Amino acid sequence: MTCPSRTLILPPQLTASARRLRTTALRRGLRIVEATASAVSEGAGRPGWAAGSEGEAPSVHLHAGPSFADVVAPALGIALLEAPADWLARLPRALTQREIRAMPIGEAYRLRRPAFVKSPNDKSISALVYADGSRLPGPDAVDPATVVLVSDVMTFAVEYRLFLLDGAVHTAAQYAEAGRLRLGPPDLAALAFGREVLAAAGDGLPSAIVVDVGRDDEGRWAVIEANAAWASGCYEADPDRTLDTVLRAAGPATDLSPRDRAFVR
């Protein structure tokens, strides 16, 4: 039986991570399309546009940021998997080492203390430590009903990215040390903590996702955040295993498992 062709859609401006994935995808026989979101959407209307060979059913995937993905995915029938907006806030304190709440930004305006605030699944609210709620983007810029994650401020000595696939840590890499970019292999303790997170809270995640974890100066491990694999840099993680995760995280809606339907963006 001939396997359906696979196409990986990429934006025209590639990060170093995206270039690694492109090289890996080409080696594995995927067709690559690099184009603007509007060009991809227009091309999606032409018969056979995404197929690699005539007669093959296309299997189209993407690796890109949320603004690109939100235009392209509906046009190509791609289901984007992501963590629930409140997944991080629902984790037990033993896994976060800090208080984290999911709330409308209108409620966060009332904060009168420093807090780390971010959007759960995109970059619409810059991920920063805000001195108080008055420093957040105002209602003229953001719908007050927009949900944000509000966290106690925690400093990490070292940070790792874990690519999770089918309930296991599929690949991982270090990406920061003392708040600065520092790439390297995964620490065995980070992998062990990732397995602990999956055992405790993996049921609340899709089959393909990224979770960032870190260790503070006191040696405490904590979940930093969850990110969509299709929009995450791979740093020095194994590119083949990273691509496995990306292809699952952003693939044909027709291929979705019943379980993953609850995690579509």
| First CA to last CA distance, the chain | 32
- For residue 172, give both structure tokens: 């991982």
Question: Quick one: pLDDT at residue 56?
Answer: 58
Question: Quick one: pLDDT at residue 51?
Answer: 55
CB atoms within 10 A of CB 117: 23
CB atoms within 10 A of CB 49: 15
Phi, psi of 172 (to 5 degrees): -160, 165
Question: Quick one: pLDDT at residue 2?
Answer: 40
pTM comes to 0.92
**DSSP per residue, the chain:** -PPPPEEEEE-SS--HHHHHHHHHHHHTT-EEEE--HHHHHHHTTSTTTT-SSTTPPPEEEE---HHHHHHHHHHHTEEEB---TTHHHHS-HHHHSS-EEEEEHHHHTT--S-EEEE-SSSSSS--EEESSGGGS--TTTS-TT-EEEEE-----SEEEEEEEETTEEEEEEEEEETTEEEEEPPPHHHHHHHHHHHHHHGGGS-SEEEEEEEE-TTS-EEEEEEE-GGG---TTS-HHHHHHHHHHHEEEGGG--TGGGGGB-
Give per-10-residue mean pLDDT for the chain (265 aa): 74 94 97 92 67 65 96 96 97 97 97 96 89 95 95 97 98 97 96 98 98 97 97 97 98 97 97
Question: Quick one: pLDDT at residue 158?
Answer: 98
CA 91 to chain centre: 18
Question: Quick one: pLDDT at residue 3?
Answer: 47
